[in-house]
A and B are shown apart, each in its own frame.
Chain A
Amino acid sequence: MATHDNTINHARSASIIRSIVKHNIFIPCAFLILLLLINIFINPGFLKVSMGTDSNGHPVLIGNLINILSNATELVILAIGMTLVTASSKGQDISVGATLAISGGVVMRVLCGNETQPSSLHAPIIVALLLGCLAGMACGAFNGILVSRFKIQPMIATLILFTAGRSIASMAMGGLKPKAVSSFGYYGNFIPGFPIPTPILITVLVIIITMLVLKFTNLGLYTRAVGVNAKASSLNGLNPSLIKFLTFVVLGLCVGIAGFVQSSRVQTVNPFTIVPSIEMDVILAVALGGNSLGGGKFNMTGSIIGAYTIQTLTSMLMTLNVNTNAVPVFKAAIIVILVVIQAPIVKAFFSALMADLKSKNNRGKGDDTYVVVE
């Protein structure tokens, strides 16, 4: 009997989970398709991907889709980390743009030393990557300690680095704006002779690693547990502080990788203008992916699709000749609409409204039948 109940419960919960997943991915997918349709409407050749050659004569893939996939790299990587942070700490890290500037600055400083136009790299690229990731993780650890040890709201805690980060990056670079040699640009653009942009490969690699980590370790489960109910998870033997700290460090690692890709892409880092208002994009991607910004359960696939959707939106606004500084207006509007839809009160209001309509309909039918009977 008990096993029978269990299987029923199991089947029911499985079907519920399936429907939730379906629903969660539905929003970003629908939005993405809508954006793509608008883009195709504006520019009929939007989806065209063709083979071309770059300035050095190497074959490369050209096309809007390729650009979006390539430019979304930083956003996707950051969204992965931010999803975990949001789930565990019920808040967002608003310092990702500033810490990205720091790790990008560290990468440039390691590669270029004190020269502005070095003729060769001062250190192997792998060292720069590692140090950049380390810088990102250090920033993440700083935020993580403030959040987990001192119990400060994540957004207040990260407000510190949000303001100071770009100045720290400028300090890390010694006030210089060096330009690295072109071989460093392979990681943000193309490896000569290979037509697919390197950032796309890096994104795929990071996504695969994330999925493997979520599948084969308990990081995802523990993050959810801490986010849903920290007290209950601590009674179950988890250490909520440690998990929160870990998610911030993971985000720091993501920031490090994204900073490396970004600095390789532009090959020169201006800490005050690099990735402007990306924190907004990342939070938007997470919210669009069907994740509650109030923490708890998370949906990594949704976040990743959300990130690509945001990049599509950005590039669409760019093609419409909207000023770079004005782009946040539209994103701010979208994020407000999204959180309003997500708000429990609004949800409750609409479900009450639906129930009301249904009951009214039913009552109407009932009256009809009553009339007929009479």
Chain B
Amino acid sequence: MSSLNEAPQIGRFDGIKNKLMQREKLTDTAFLLTITITLFFTIYALAVIFLGDKGFGKVQMFFNLFNENAALIVIACGLSIVMVTGSIDISVGGSTALICTSCIVGLNKYGFNFLTSLLLALAIGLAFGILQGLLIAYLEIQPFIVTLAGMFLGRGLVALIEVNQVQVANPAFEKLSGARIEIPFLGDYNKKGIFLQSKLEYGVIVALIIVVLIFFLLRKTSLGRSFYAVGGNPQSALMLGINVKRTRFMAHVLCGLLAGIGGFLYLFHTRSGSVQQATGLEMDAISASIIGGTLLTGGVGNIFGTLFGVLTGGTVLLIVTAIGSQDPWWPQITRAAMLCFFIILQSVICSRKRNKSE
């Protein structure tokens, strides 16, 4: 995020140059998206071929990939938005943990129902988004420091509310979250030869609708376009008459709102809450965005790329678990290694492009 105080570089051909760069970036987005989608299908196909006996051949396995990652998809969408704007948010894991625990305490002790707990989740997410957005956009504090504080604040508040791990003990809520959609005509035969219909959680539908909504927001609305403009070059965005501060603020508010929805989906799926819950969720979301072709420097990104980034990450984790290493440390290390690989790849691509343009 470059500072607004730098001297603007006004040149005769800047308009044309910007236009050219815009075109280049758009093709870049398509290019990165193609890579991501190909990567996902290649990895999944390889898993089906080589680990078919571990369940990868089953249709349900494919749907489970969505079932497990519905919350992450929504949260990663929010992170893609802030990353496109050139900022970052690492508080999503902490706010997810806070949402889960506080909703469960509400459900168990204070007679919350589905709707009130959803509202609480959204309120917590929005509160994080608005506070962090104010500090980052209007006071121009480094996003990392603010959201790092947000992350510890979230986890610390969990401990203030409830130190021990808690489970949902609310029959109505459990019934709702246990509901599944049965997919017609798709399913697997189990060992006894009985046909089992594939099942999908309702959270997945919500997540996919949100992906489509965010796609249209980023593509078709002026707010969405200004996210890209601010992330690409805040100076030019300012000259175009975009309210840079408000745009950054809105990005964080939107990310907070999506973190709220994602946190609720997380609760809906796991039905438990603890201080150490959702550790590393922020990194999963960031790496999903990066795998999906969102540049850390801002200005480039595609929400469908993020979706496939989440699915790719999920598949790799499934493979690591399926290969059968009993050691508990491999999933986390694999995640980090994947993030590391893609960050370095991105950095190399960026620097090569910079050299070419110079």
Contact = CB atoms under 8 A, between A and B. Distances in A.
The dominant DSSP class at the A interface is: helix
B347 to A, nearest CB: 4
A167 B152 contact: no
Contacts of A164: 332-333, 335-337
Interface stretch (B55-63, B155-163, B209-217): B155-163
Interface in B304-358: 327-330, 332-333, 335-337, 339-340, 343-344, 347-348, 351
B343 A156 contact: yes
A159 interface: yes
B53 interface: no
Nearest to A346: B139
A150 B327 contact: no
**Max count, chain A CB within 10 A of own CB: residue among B146, B156, B163, B348:** B156
Nearest to B350: A151
B351 A161 contact: no
Interface of B is mostly: helix
A218 to B, nearest CB: 28
Contacts of A30: none
B138 A345 contact: yes
A175 B326 CA distance: 11
Question: Which of A157, A328, A344 has most B Cβ within 10 Å?
Answer: A328
Interface string A132-151: 00000000000000100011
B141 A339 contact: yes
Contact of B327 (A175, A330, A333): A175
A344 B158 CA distance: 33
Contacts of B329: 167-168, 170-171, 175
Contact of B347 (A152, A277, A325, A329): A152
A329 B140 contact: no
A277 B158 CA distance: 15
Nearest to B347: A150
A331 B332 contact: no
A155 B160 CA distance: 27
Interface string B141-153: 1101110111011
Contact of B296 (A152, A160, A346): A152
B146 A283 contact: no
A232 interface: no
Interface residues of B, number: 45
A91 interface: yes
Contact of A333 (B153, B333, B343, B347): B153
A280 interface: yes
B152 A150 contact: no
Contacts of A330: 156
Nearest to A153: B296
B283 interface: yes
Contacts of A323: 159-160, 163
A373 interface: no
A195 interface: no
B303 interface: no
Interface in B103-161: 135, 138-142, 144-146, 148-150, 152-153, 155-160
Given A156-B343, A333-B153, A293 B333 contact: no
B144 A153 contact: yes
Given A277-B152, A328-B152, A335-B149, A345 B140 contact: yes
Given A150-B343, A159-B90, A163-B280, A326 B160 contact: yes
Interface string B204-231: 0000000000000000000000000000
Nearest to B329: A167
A294 interface: yes
A343 B149 contact: no
B257 interface: no
Contacts of B343: 146, 150, 152, 156-157, 160
A339 B339 contact: no
A14 interface: no
Interface string A328-360: 111111011001100111100000000000000
Nearest to A335: B149
A160 B157 contact: no
B274 to A, nearest CB: 10
30 contacts: A92-B144, A150-B347, A151-B347, A152-B347, A155-B88, A155-B90, A155-B144, A159-B339, A160-B283, A160-B340, A163-B336, A163-B339, A167-B329, A167-B332, A168-B329, A175-B327, A175-B329, A283-B145, A323-B159, A324-B159, A325-B156, A325-B275, A330-B156, A335-B145, A339-B141, A339-B145, A339-B146, A343-B139, A343-B141, A345-B140
Given A162-B283, A329-B160, 7 more contacts: A164-B332, A167-B330, A171-B327, A333-B153, A336-B135, A339-B135, A339-B142
